[in-house]
Chains A and B, each alone.
Chain A
Amino acid sequence: AQSVAQPEDQVNVAEGNPLTVKCTYSVSGNPYLFWYVQYPNRGLQFLLKYITGDNLVKGSYGFEAEFNKSQTSFHLKKPSALVSDSALYFCAVRGYYGNNRLAFGKGNQVVVIP
């Protein structure tokens, strides 16, 4: 079964500094990888996904993520963090084969300090 690890509970970063949120995955076959963001008292919003092709994926709000097959990682990045990026971030994986089930990590709280 597919699974995701997000090793850090909280990521603190100063406004204007680069932001990285780590994600490693386990899945049979080729992975489909997703990042979602959850703002307080809101549902999850889709940020970006990797399906195939270029390992660097660009998404909403200036976020990007790099797929690394050898390290089974899909880290989320933003070159310059904003205070408004403070939120809970979830990585998720689904296998190429299967029933459309999505496995989520436990989430990372990002705190951007003004």
Chain B
Amino acid sequence: EAQVTQNPRYLITVTGKKLTVTCSQNMNHEYMSWYRQDPGLGLRQIYYSMNVEVTDKGDVPEGYKVSRKEKRNFPLILESPSPNQTSLYFCASSFRLAGSQNEQFFGPGTRLTVL
């Protein structure tokens, strides 16, 4: 089944404790992206990647890191989480060919709470 998977689905942590949220897709997509969803703000892009070893900042990159060492994986790293990073996080992927026309496929989401 074609899908985007994220782990963990739920995470409660404390301020300053490094964490990684994994994202993996099995559709051979070149493009991958991370979003956070907050009430009243919709989805805001954190980072995106056009292909392996190519990443760039989105609209709200502060406090996050990403890497793209393999085509299928795009982990999101919070080196020192803070309470304002409490949010619902989504990973998404799409084909790069004819880039702008392609719809994105979303993972199920990771609900993160930072105490």
- A residues lining the B interface (CB < 8 Å): 4, 6, 32, 34, 36, 41-46, 49, 51, 90, 94-96, 98-102, 104-107
Contact = CB atoms under 8 A, between A and B. Distances in A.
Interface of B: 4, 31, 33, 35, 40-45, 48, 50, 56, 58, 90, 92, 94, 96, 99-101, 103-109
B42 A101 contact: no
Contact of A98 (B94, B100, B108): B100
Given A99-B50, A101-B58, A42 B108 contact: yes
B104 A106 contact: no
B75 to A, nearest CB: 17
B43 A100 contact: no
A32 B94 CA distance: 15
Contacts of B4: 43
B41 to A, nearest CB: 6
